[in-house]
Structure 1
Amino acid sequence: MSKLKLGPIADEKPVKVQVELPATLHQDLVDYGDLLGREQGQSAIEPAKLIVPMLLRFIATDRGFARARRGSTLNN
């Protein structure tokens, strides 16, 4: 089985955000949630629960963002 970038999904206190997704992206999230659930021996993970960990991972691994953040006042 493939090794996906996301691990277990943390359950944290949410902040409500509404977003519209293209149908193709939604289907990709459905497929990803199915694969991730199977990889972890669980049922499929719903797309809404994937978005936050994916964004966190993206931001955490974006070197350009990290450099810009260190060199500016963004984190103040």
Structure 2
Amino acid sequence: MPLRLEKLPDRTPVRMSISLEPDLALALKDYAHLYQQSYGNDEKPETLIPAMLDTFLKSDLGFKRARKKLHSTSQPQGY
């Protein structure tokens, strides 16, 4: 009997390291400060960055369309 809930995808975090220009690093630090003022939670910029990237990618309609096309054309036939 199939379950209503599908098998969960792999949720193992992938660690990445990046280098930032000083202006961007300062902007992220300022964003974390404003986040703390808005929500009362003291979060480091590196904690906020994954949510910021996720929000950005989800709101980029051009990316969504291109990504859908990319994955639909790269699927093997009969998949």
TM exceeds 0.5?
Answer: yes
**2:36 pairs with 1:37:** yes
Task: Normalising by structure 1, report the TM-score.
Answer: 0.71
After TM superposition, the score normalised by the length of structure 2 is 0.68
Indicate the RMSD between aligned Cα atoms, in angstroms.
Answer: 2.1
Alignment length (residue pairs): 64
Equivalence for 1:60: 58
Deviation at 1:20, TM superposition (A): 0.4
Give the structure with the higher percent helix.
2
2:45 match = 47
Please say which structure displays the higher CA radius of gyration.
2
Structure 1 gap ranges (5+): 1-11
Could you tell me how far 1:13 is from its partner in structure 2? 5.5
Q: Which has the higher contact order (CA 8 A, sep 6+)?
A: 1
